[in-house]
Chain A
């Protein structure tokens, strides 16, 4: 119940920022259109990165706007897990809503050339990973500008890195890339499995670190009277 209320207010907060919403949609679209002339695979991969970037940026900002308010919420009866789980749920929902029209776009544009179910799964994982990743950066780097730049570095790295490099496996959005390869290049199941495992592991890890940092930051340092 408390988680739902936090999620609801986070969504209301976000959707009233019209410009932010427009940019959230514009970013993946731009990425997609820029590479549309190339092979199908590249445009979809860029779309996924754009989506992940947009959602993680939204999560980063949501975490920033809530930071000064969370102490008071914590003192008003919320536990820290209500706060970060509520925000996470909101960002997931928002991400899925943003992803939906792009799925329709891919289905219309390349529906006959790709495994559509796997494309949906890749988008789902881009969103699933991006939300806690944005919250994680928000928790690690309190100032929004620094957080945004850090996110830029990570996404830039993700785009530039040679897919053969071993380092690619520790980048956050590798999972959706692998699933996308499975979807577009009709590879074997190992890509799918690898992507799923990586995505789940990364999500759990990022959420765990967010939980840890949030609980630490919002711990209440009071001794309760024994009679209370």
Chain B
């Protein structure tokens, strides 16, 4: 990796750690000055850009850390006593979840624990056998897969979703492309969705869900196939949506981010049968 490339990556990584543009510019410029003065290769002087960015972010934590969060607002989504059976098997047993504006809830549980089912019930796409979901505001829903048309271009999918939200074509494309860029993706002209990689398709899926400024975002493991950087970007988006006062529900089986969410709903039965 040459020094220019290293410095560019550093900038990206610093932005991922939510440093402001000024802070990013200063850190990158200082590193560049050091490299020029010392004549050293960047990797030797600073290590990997990811590692150095993390060290810088940690050093600056108090000053440039996430801005003070607004207090959680009103209840945006409230699911009460949700019970769902498939045939004789009870998937969900009296599950409750309340998410306020400016909160992130993680839904975890083993495969088959009913995470996606619960999210579909929250989205109003499935009728629970018992219980009720109350929604306040506009909903954005990112299904786990199959949320896109194979033969349409990403731009066309943006237009399709945008039209539903009452946006005109240009505005829809603009919003969609901006969302894509924020996930390090620039849709190539004329490439149909079926030719995108799994991770890129998930980005498309996620961008579509967040169009139209939803108040409540329901995200069903939308980061499968993401590389590590994009995965971090995804969580940056989650924090940003939260700080903008949206209510976010993320289905996940990865536990690494759980210490940072406001609540965790574990759908794994306490012990099969004894949970009743």
Contact = CB atoms under 8 A, between A and B. Distances in A.
Contact of B124 (A65, A220, A228): A220
B148 A222 contact: no
A76 B137 contact: no
Interface string A195-222: 0000000000000000000000000111
A12 B157 CA distance: 11
A76 B211 contact: yes
Contacts of A221: 121, 124-127, 133
A5 interface: yes
Interface string A44-81: 00000000000000000000011011011101111000
Given A12-B156, A228-B135, A76 B165 contact: yes
Given A71-B143, A221-B124, A16 B135 contact: no
Contact of B160 (A9, A71, A224): A9
A133 to B, nearest CB: 23
Nearest to A4: B163
Interface residues of A, number: 29
Contact of B151 (A12, A78, A224, A227): A12
Contacts of B133: 221-223
Contacts of A220: 124-125
A2 interface: yes
B141 A75 contact: yes
Nearest to A73: B164
B205 to A, nearest CB: 9
Contacts of B208: 72, 76
Interface string A1-15: 110011001001100
22 contacts: A1-B163, A2-B164, A9-B149, A9-B152, A9-B156, A12-B151, A16-B151, A16-B192, A68-B146, A71-B125, A72-B141, A76-B208, A76-B211, A77-B164, A77-B165, A77-B212, A221-B126, A222-B123, A224-B134, A225-B135, A227-B136, A228-B137
Given A9-B156, A72-B141, A76-B164, 13 more contacts: A5-B163, A9-B152, A13-B149, A16-B192, A66-B149, A71-B141, A72-B147, A72-B209, A76-B161, A76-B165, A221-B121, A223-B133, A225-B137
Interface of B: 74-75, 121, 123-127, 132-137, 139-141, 143, 146-152, 156, 159-161, 163-166, 192, 208-209, 211-212
